[in-house]
Amino acid sequence: MSIFKDHIDAMTAYTPPLEGRDPVAYTLLDFNERTIEVVEPIRQALHAFIDGGRLHMYPSYGDIVEKIAAYAGVEAGQVMITNGSDHGIDLIIRSACQAGDEIIIPGPSFAMYGQCARFEGLSIVEPQYTREGGYPVAEVIAAVTEKTRVVVVSNPNNPCGTLVAPDEIVRIAKAAPGAAILVDECYFEYSKVTVADRLLECPNIVITRTFSKTWGLPSVRLGYVLSVADNINALLNVRGPYDINQFAVVAVSTGLDAPDVSLAYVDEVMTVSKPMLESFLDEVGIAYWPSAANYLWTFPEEPQALELALREARILVRPKADGANRLGLRITIGTVEQTRRVIEVLRQALA
């Protein structure tokens, strides 16, 4: 007999393929990360922190919340820092729901929403994205009941990269006033689309963001939640006082002193590399979903053969099936040089 709850024992762990990802041996285009290292001031700040004799102390967060608030364009009381945005997603779902409640998670989408919903014993409603229509707004609104406690808007969605317009998110928020509208803006710096300026109009919107994807800091784990101050205060009752490590705060605080230095990479990815890869895919007739993020979900005829060809050329991408179980390859977009190499390998493999 287990000492744990039956539904927890019945779950399976979320185990993304993390092992063997050697950044020297491979170009890593499989996790939507920044494909180059953090900028030099961040690296130096981390070294200085290690040498500064404070590792034996519990973390203290100083003015990091104020700095993030200024970056996000909200008040400091509207920000809570988290241990990556996965932590924020978990806290929001845990705080809003109890067993038997409903959560709407349009699919296919990022695995953590479903995983957190299953921890809590929630009933998951899963209308499907389409390549033509993107997020199923009408179906989501039609699926709202008095038991709906969370509606997920992954914006842009992973793996498909599609966006929901802010006005549509507001429409969903007004159609489900008793539910938390969890807007995941993990890729905000790429999409540049946000509802951070609509929080006062819709107090049930709760945004999660991260320093993992653009800033190059997934290893130290720092995310944040944006919402109205009452929601932030409630979530702070659940978050632990030391959940975020001091390395993360040191790194992000330094990054935020000169955001443009880190964000120059975004311009290269979105304005040069991405159009380059899209025009190659158009040229060779490989279908892909329209994406507002730093990745493209592609559907070549022989995904496994192409994945292998890329792997043999020391490039990792991520196989991902759609709702109809058709296998695609999600390709993270990196620097121009890396993108040229991807195109070269794909061109050879297709020949």
Chain residues in the site for ligand PLP (CB under 6 A): 32, 84-86, 110, 154, 158, 184, 186, 210, 212, 218, 223
Give which of 313, 272, 269 is closest to 295, Cα–Cα.
Answer: 269
- The least distance separating ligand PLP from the CB of residue 263, rounded to whole angstroms, comes to 17
Task: Give me the least distance between CB of 16 and ligand PLP, in Å please.
Answer: 8
Min dist. Cβ of residue 109 to ligand PLP (A): 7
Q: What is the Cα–Cα distance from 48 to 50, expressed in whole angstroms? A: 5
Half-sphere exposure of 92 (CA within 13 A, CB side): 34
Min dist CB 75 to ligand PLP, Å, is 22
Q: Which residue from 62, 106, 87 is spatially nearest to 222, judged by alpha carbons?
A: 87
Whichever of 86 and 126 has its CB closer to ligand PLP, that residue is 86
In angstroms, what is the minimal distance from the CB of 198 to ligand PLP?
20
Q: How far is the CB of 218 from ligand PLP (least distance, A)?
A: 5
Nearest to 255 by CA among 291, 216, 292, 209: 216
Largest CA distance in the chain: 59
Between 127 and 223, CB nearer to ligand PLP: 223
* Cβ-based neighbours of 106, under 8 Å, separated by 6 or more: 126, 127, 128, 129, 135, 136, 139, 140, 152, 154, 157
How many whole angstroms separate alpha carbon 311 and alpha carbon 316? 6
Closer residue to ligand PLP (CB): 37 or 302:
37
CB of 110 to ligand PLP, least distance (A): 4
Identify which of residues 86 and 307 has a Cβ nearer to ligand PLP in the complex: 86
Closer by beta carbon to ligand PLP, 87 or else 343: 87
Token duo for residue 343:
């195109």
Q: Which is nearer to ligand PLP, 218 or 290 (CB)?
A: 218
Q: How far is the CB of 73 from ligand PLP (least distance, A)?
A: 20
52: tokens are 């500064």
Q: 318-321 and 327-332: which strand pairing?
A: antiparallel
Q: Which is nearer to ligand PLP, 67 or 330 (CB)?
A: 330
Q: Which is nearer to ligand PLP, 86 or 168 (CB)?
A: 86
We find the least distance from the C-beta atom of residue 212 to ligand PLP, in angstroms, to be: 3
Cβ nearer to ligand PLP, comparing 217 with 315: 217
On whether the CB atoms of residues 14 and 7 are closer than 8 A, the answer is no
- Confirm if 183 and 206 have CB atoms less than 8 A apart: yes
Give kind and range of the element (H or E) at residue 182.
strand 180-184
**Residue 291 in contact with residue 156, Cβ under 8 Å?**
yes
The end-to-end CA distance of the chain, in Å, is: 57
For residues 199-232, b (16+ Cβ closer than 10 Å) or e, as one string?
beebebbbbbbbbbbbbbbbebbbbbbbbbeebb
